[in-house]
Structure 1
């Protein structure tokens, strides 16, 4: 079942709002910088992609702000931006809109504050809101409550693949009769506790200069950089979108596929079989051949092992084409945002299709050998009709999404 993307809401290191994000990418502005808010020296990590200039008071009511964590503030803001972008107001039927967001780690900063209070002053220092602010479903619940969306809702927990998987769930919800769904997600893992949890993976870059950190598909790759933020999108059943007079259509969700390595909870499978299978499933679902794909927006893990596996998967699917498939990793400009990152990559892909511009991979100066693959090193002008977005989540999750320009020619 196809869905139309009618609204985009972005809160990311590259900017707040879809156009701010896009213009930052096109200018080649690195949104990765020194970590602010605490001293990360003891963790051996110094860089991150943080959302600077985000004032929650501009987006969240005071009584809601005290109950929620920074990641939920960002989801509330992005959900508002998406609805405004779509010109969407809650219909009279409160069950006509669902919220299906992704989450990777929940309310880290709120939880750390409460745990510090517990150990310093005892149980009475822990507030009642701790029970809900940390919860990985908090953003879905708070958006649904605030905006009165009572359709079937839920949360997807598949780490970095979650942003794509939420769209897969939206298709199920729409197939069962709910015409509009908010999808995507945000993350805010920038506090000592959250950074420590991520550092234990051994896959974070220890580089101290942004241009030397997080280099997907580069021979100098040395790990990734964490980031916060993400994107929320409004997707609608085509008939319902046109019936309400949707003022724009960013693109069509034409196909989706997901697999699991079933190998190990931390280590990736030694081959790319299941990752390639996820891509093939999405293409088959969309009725698209590998030759019809104009661009692949890659997961871009930034470690030599994971990058090699991703290129192997892409090569297995697209390697027999007459022309190499272009591949880019825009997350290299922002850091990896966990569940928010794949959602942001979908927004980036839709913007790329709108303007016919492919953003390059940041500081890709020494690309690894990738037969049959055209690694995009710098921004280029290119007509884009069909784009594949890829994502992986820690533990073996693999997801693939096929996007097409609006078939009715009503793209923004």
Structure 2
């Protein structure tokens, strides 16, 4: 029997908290990181809200040599990665460098960096453009910079799957561990809250035009009007359970026991979306049945038709109202590649503390959704297995099962 893949390290950079425990306290208290965008003037934009990380100074967390060559999203990813490795009590040299790999997901690239350099190109000329523009904008740069900084030369990759991509990164890393790599660092971080990056996110009409932060992002709510973009995410250290115990890992936060991914059929085919099938695949991969799932961390698009589709998938899979459902991302905004890994962290903390965090609700949950949405206050519940779901634009679906780790 293959040993389970366990989470031994966590690093969180979120709009409502830097660091795992700060973030978790904010979630349980219902503290939101969503507010009016302050990095530039949004008075002429149709949308004005975002989940900003306002208390992050990269100079406090990274070597000065990295600052001029990295985008804000990469600075967040490097910080989260370092925190995860510290939490796992792993340093370069503890394992052979080819025994440690890194897989990240990124949906937006280094928007802020590249748009600053474009402005220099247009206003001053090409000689003023940073040489680091050659790679700082790229989707794979987080994987590369993390790998270089921490000497992680094992299996590595970069995935682009929007919101689902972060879960895919964890699924791929789990596969690498199961194939023999002792340790993988994986997750996702995104940020694109510069003028160009922000307008690119609002262009598809899915971002709310609501200007009240308390009403901006309301998954499964009758008043849902779209989502709020955010920045940040999470990085996790994954290891084979037997090897983690053998090296004396300080803590095993949870196990990543199941993973599934699907792609929606083309519109007009009459075939159902693939989210339910991704969930079923992950549950089966974990060796479980739907009755074993104690909580669902939903994708929670905040768009009525998409919320209704997810609710149908959940009620069809579990039965109406049988399993508690929550979407704590309503406190951070949708973090794209960072959203799924952050939900996995939240699920692991729910398992640890025996509580399911609530989802902010201003209106009501439609009766025909048939889901038991946790709202108002955290709900005490013994959670052994949690299902985390994510959907990306253009049909990506991903699901993972996070499970409790018993003492040997």
Question: Would you call these one fold, judging by a TM-score over 0.5?
Answer: yes
Hey, what does 2:283 align to over in structure 1? 283
Pair 1:395-2:394 in alignment: yes
Stretches of structure 2 that go unaligned for 5 or more consecutive residues are: none
Pair 1:151-2:154 in alignment: yes
Q: 1:6-405 alignment to 2 at 5 Å?
A: 6-90=8-92, 91-263=94-266, 272-319=272-319, 324-370=322-368, 372-378=370-376, 379-405=378-404
| Secondary structure, counterpart of 1:42 in structure 2 | coil
Residue 41 of structure 1, CA deviation: 2.0
Q: Is the 8 A contact 2:71 2:137 kept in 1?
A: yes
CA–CA distance in 2 between the matches of 1:374 and 1:270?
A: 28
Q: Given the superposition, is the C-alpha separation of residues 401 and 171 from structure 1 closer, same or farther in structure 2, using an over 3 Å criterion?
A: same
Q: Is the 8 A contact 2:223 2:362 kept in 1?
A: no
Q: Is the 8 A contact 1:186 1:231 kept in 2?
A: yes
Cα deviations by residue, 1:132-166 (Å, 9 ceiling, x for unpaired):
10000111100100111110101111000011100
CA–CA distance in 1 between the matches of 2:88 and 2:227?
A: 33
- Root mean square deviation, CA, Å: 1.5
| Secondary structure, counterpart of 1:306 in structure 2 | helix
Cα deviations by residue, 1:186-231 (Å, 9 ceiling, x for unpaired):
1111111111111111000111111111110000100000000010
Q: Given the superposition, is the C-alpha separation of residues 324 and 269 from structure 1 closer, same or farther in structure 2, using an over 3 Å criterion?
A: farther
Q: Is the 8 A contact 2:230 2:335 kept in 1?
A: yes
Q: How many residues align?
A: 404
Residue 121 of structure 1, CA deviation: 1.4
Provide the TM-score with structure 2 as the length reference. Answer: 0.96
Q: Given the superposition, is the C-alpha separation of residues 151 and 32 from structure 1 closer, same or farther in structure 2, using an over 3 Å criterion?
A: same
CA–CA distance in 2 between the matches of 1:300 and 1:370?
A: 16
Q: Is the 8 A contact 1:217 1:364 kept in 2?
A: no
* Moved segments of 4+, more than 6 Å: 268-271
Q: Is the 8 A contact 2:13 2:76 kept in 1?
A: yes
Stretches of structure 1 that go unaligned for 5 or more consecutive residues are: none
CA–CA distance in 1 between the matches of 2:108 and 2:133?
A: 15
| Secondary structure, counterpart of 1:52 in structure 2 | coil
Q: Is the 8 A contact 2:297 2:325 kept in 1?
A: yes
Provide the TM-score with structure 1 as the length reference. Answer: 0.95
| Secondary structure, counterpart of 1:248 in structure 2 | coil
When structure 1 is superposed on structure 2, of 367-376 and 386-395 the one drifting more is 367-376
Q: Is the 8 A contact 1:156 1:162 kept in 2?
A: yes
| Secondary structure, counterpart of 2:237 in structure 1 | strand
CA–CA distance in 2 between the matches of 1:55 and 1:66?
A: 14
| Secondary structure, counterpart of 1:80 in structure 2 | helix
| Secondary structure, counterpart of 1:343 in structure 2 | helix
Q: Is the 8 A contact 1:101 1:184 kept in 2?
A: yes
Q: Is the 8 A contact 2:5 2:178 kept in 1?
A: no
When structure 1 is superposed on structure 2, of 99-108 and 355-364 the one drifting more is 355-364
